[in-house]
Structure 1
């Protein structure tokens, strides 16, 4: 487990699980005064670690999801029960989180534990957040990323898998529409973040050729 500060207001918790091979799962905490926003919750097995990390930084305010896959939402039930805070995702993602229909890449619905407890990221909610929200469909229909404008840090969920200096697509079998996902990635050239932090991998410094190389290699 690694808990590091990646910018003035953004912290990253990294945990490894083994699913045949070791896989990194990154979740984040955005600090705004005394308030702490939890970005994704990872797996239930380390939800207690998530809780302690959030409390060490301030007062947990809400949970913000990039999407509803279990390695991003599985700890939400425990955190909500302990903290009594709201959970938000894009409204497009909510039917999948509720189990009303399965993700197109899965044969049946997954139990998230927070069915009918996740609220949509309405404009009024987004205005209260210290981060901007961008819809980036492809990996899932309602996948979003979060940008801390002051720190210029972009939290990209499963839009990419990242290595030290390169970006790669998410795993094909869990991705609804890979072409759409790759097209969604062009948002990094609009935002031009200093740091790109993905859910699976290492933080990457942005440069003007990063997306062009990614698109050429994988489209």
Structure 2
């Protein structure tokens, strides 16, 4: 199993929220790590199984393991790890976590080539407008990683391993096999990067975590038509609370109004005016 040296990468960008974990729902714990979120799903008080969603930035292994111990106690690894997609800031600690916990990892079948060392993602596009993070994206790794036998395609029937009440939704655009997770009973949504609650291209807004619903991070999004349809698909679910890959959890009227506006005005709000992946 090879991490393609991801663990040696470090990006000197950190938001004011980094390390300040909070609950998006009673059993959904959101941990910001630098500029990205990881999610722990499972009620610590019920001594039941829990699942990790995404694996954060490079060099975040100790923070993720430490948070898991604080929430669930010693010797309680997750039943599995689910990936919304395989970009570097969502798999940064993955190789080390798998080696530590010895648990399976699940992702959409279209992401598997990037998680078995067979393909690299398209290079980020630093030419899109939006702010300094977009310009910095030329430094972001786009290489795939190799998880070997530890990576598995998520079941095609929409079920989510380890999370009986959840189902996954294919939300491509930002990545070919990007998925989001939805729970009907409380209308909770883990959106990944299908949409986010911060303008991720702007360094100022990333650092301050200025909250606003925005499209997927522009510098890594390669299919804007699919990204638009994915936002519309998620908006139709009418989520009551959304936890996204970047930015703070959002709920209620703020979420419903913002997501409806994004779906309605996607080209004006989310799609950049120019860039190598813009039609």
Give 1:19's aligned residue.
none
How far off its partner does 1:179 sit?
2.1
Give 1:20's aligned residue.
none
- Which 5+ residue runs of structure 2 have no aligned equivalent? 1-18, 126-140, 199-209, 268-279
Asked whether 1:132 is paired with 2:186, we answer: no
Match for residue 98 of structure 2 among 69, 80, 93: 80
> Take 1:90 and 1:212, find their aligned partners in 2: how far apart are those partners?
26
Name the structure with the higher strand share: 1
TM-score using structure 2 length: 0.68
Cα–Cα, structure 1 residues 128 and 37, in superposed 2: closer, same or farther, change >3 Å? closer
Give 2:67's aligned residue.
53
Cα–Cα, structure 1 residues 101 and 193, in superposed 2: closer, same or farther, change >3 Å? same
How far off its partner does 1:150 sit?
3.4
How far off its partner does 1:46 sit?
1.5
> Take 1:56 and 1:123, find their aligned partners in 2: how far apart are those partners?
33
Q: Which structure has the higher relative contact order (CA within 8 Å, separation 6+)?
A: 2
Asked whether 1:114 is paired with 2:147, we answer: yes
How far off its partner does 1:138 sit?
0.5
CA contact (8 A) 1:137 1:143 kept: yes
How far off its partner does 1:29 sit?
0.5
Structure 1 stretch displaced more, 81-90 or 45-54: 45-54
How many residues are paired up? Answer: 212
Please tell me whether Structure 1 or Structure 2 has the larger radius of gyration of its CA atoms. 2
Cα–Cα, structure 1 residues 171 and 73, in superposed 2: closer, same or farther, change >3 Å? same
Structure 1 stretch displaced more, 28-37 or 116-125: 116-125
Structure 1 stretch displaced more, 50-59 or 189-198: 50-59
Asked whether 1:70 is paired with 2:105, we answer: no
What's the secondary structure of 1:11's corresponding residue? strand
Cα–Cα, structure 1 residues 200 and 88, in superposed 2: closer, same or farther, change >3 Å? same
How far off its partner does 1:106 sit?
5.7
Match for residue 40 of structure 2 among 4, 17, 29: 29
Cα–Cα, structure 1 residues 177 and 206, in superposed 2: closer, same or farther, change >3 Å? farther
